[in-house]
Amino acid sequence: MKKGQILTGIVERVDFPGKGIVNTEEGQCTVKNVLPGQKVSFVVSKKRNGHAEGRLLKIEENSPMETGSPCSHFGECGGCAYLSLPYERQLQIKEEQVKKLLSGALDKQERAWKFEGIKPSPVCEGYRNKMEFSFGDSFKGGPLSLGMHKRGSFYDIVTVSGCKIVDSDYRRILAFTRDYFDGASFYHRLHHEGYLRHLLVRKAAKTGEILIALVTTSQIDPQIQEKEFLGTWKDKLLNLDLTGKITGVLHILNDSVADVVQSDRTDILYGKDYFYEELLGLKFKISVFSFFQTNSLGAEVLYETARDYIGKLDEEGKPDKVVYDLYSGTGTISQLMAPVARKVIGVEIVEEAVEAAKKNAELNGLHNCEFIAGDVLKVLDVIEEKPDLIILDPPRDGVHPKALRKIIGYGVDKIVYISCKPTSLARDLEIFLENGYEAERVVAVDQFPWTSGIETVVLLSRKKSEGKSAKIEIEID
């Protein structure tokens, strides 16, 4: 197998995150954007240390498992990976991916660990409560597009007016906004010129409240009178036939060179800059940039699972445990634990999320939650109260190695680790196992149907020695 060689083969399996293992007469090659059972042709793009990577050229034959796609954008849009497979088969793929990744670490421990399979999402279509759509064109010099990036492209945008992972309100808002701004300039990511950047839509599954934000640069398009033009856009939005209720329309100015949604200035065109969502009997105030699980109904499954793994904290009927919720976001898990703990301490680096967590706890009448803004690595040095239980829900890259060692150094009996990237989780579990912990239970939770994303929950217990907890001594640099 040589670089530049064009080969044909059958996809044996897909490893996380979407790495297809293709068998050919020349050997195996990793190719993205394929499905198990497909016959594909590809060009070898990399060859290093006996491992080859290829770029997909064509799907020669569909997989026997494919049943067709309900979305006209599938294959062109880069959002979904498994849309042509039955949902049950997709769950099987994700379950196998997680088990394979974690077995490499957990099979080394003395104690047998229990893998509890995968929990499906309660809804498979229209489940997302947040979408960031990009303005652009589908080809150079083409008409205005509003939607998602084309698969494998940094510049080209597909207008996803038929997207199935959002409900009809998103599709109506997207289609209307694209048509309304047709002819206006979009921000070119190479030349850093243009006006329109993103359309951000958030909708609560339980309350039906909708928050809409148009993100532009400060480079006023000469074809429009901005104030009047945006005012008319807002008025027409409010007259759309939607199932939910618009509670806020915002205009966000962003002159950052990076292709990210952020605010240099935010103007409220209508209503307010937040909305409310409900999870497991609690109410949450969510702003345009607040972190919140993108599948509200799926989040209930995820957090109920975490709560089950944690077990009872008040076995004697009197809550006396201190719980650390590290990487706490807007404090969802903290608040779910508050009724059965003496105190919950949440740590989150995003200050806006911390302020939102404080307000949400107050909104829900919870007075034993403390939220601290800062890097977990640094904040752990200043918290005086030591934990009895630790919950981890880190970003995709996992826990910083030095923070991980500080966490292990507390020597708590139980740690619940929630991960959205099983490769990072597998790496971190190796360190836990090396330092006196064992995994008891593991389960995958599908929060992102049709995509390659998957959540995993792990219950870690401190090893016991002669009826007592094993002493953990760890050097912290």
**What are the structure tokens assigned to 408, written together?**
């292990």
Cα–Cα distance, 246 to 235 (Å, whole number): 11
Q: Residue 9 corresponds to which amino acid? A: G
Q: Are 410 and 386 in contact (CB under 8 A)?
A: yes
- If one counts every other C-beta atom within 10 angstroms of the C-beta of residue 227, the result is 11
Closest by alpha carbon to 200, among 214, 190, 189?
Answer: 214
Q: Are 320 and 310 in contact (CB under 8 A)?
A: no
Q: Are 17 and 31 in contact (CB under 8 A)?
A: no
Q: Is-catalytic flag, 163? A: no
- Kindly write down the DSSP assignment for every residue of 45-63, as one continuous string: EEEETTEEEEEEEEEEE--
Residues paired with 464 in a beta bridge = 469
Spacing of C-alpha 23 from chain mean position: 31
**What are the structure tokens assigned to 320, written together?**
């006396």
Cα–Cα distance, 315 to 338 (Å, whole number): 15
Cα Rg, the chain, nearest whole Å? 24
Question: Ramachandran region of residue 357, left (φ > 0), alpha (ψ -120 to 50) or beta?
Answer: alpha
Find the catalytic residue in 29, 163, 369, 420. Answer: 420
Cis preceding-peptide flag for 17 (omega within 30 of 0): yes
Cα–Cα distance, 97 to 385 (Å, whole number): 38
DSSP 361: H
Closest by alpha carbon to 422, among 403, 405, 439?
Answer: 439
CA dihedral 426, 430, 436, 440 (to 10 degrees): 30
SS3 29: strand
Q: Are 428 and 465 in contact (CB under 8 A)?
A: no
Do you know the residue count of the chain? Answer: 477
SS3 295: strand
Q: Are 425 and 382 in contact (CB under 8 A)?
A: no
Q: What angle do CA 162, 164, 165 make, to 5 degrees?
A: 135
DSSP 121: P
What are the residue numbers of the active site? 420
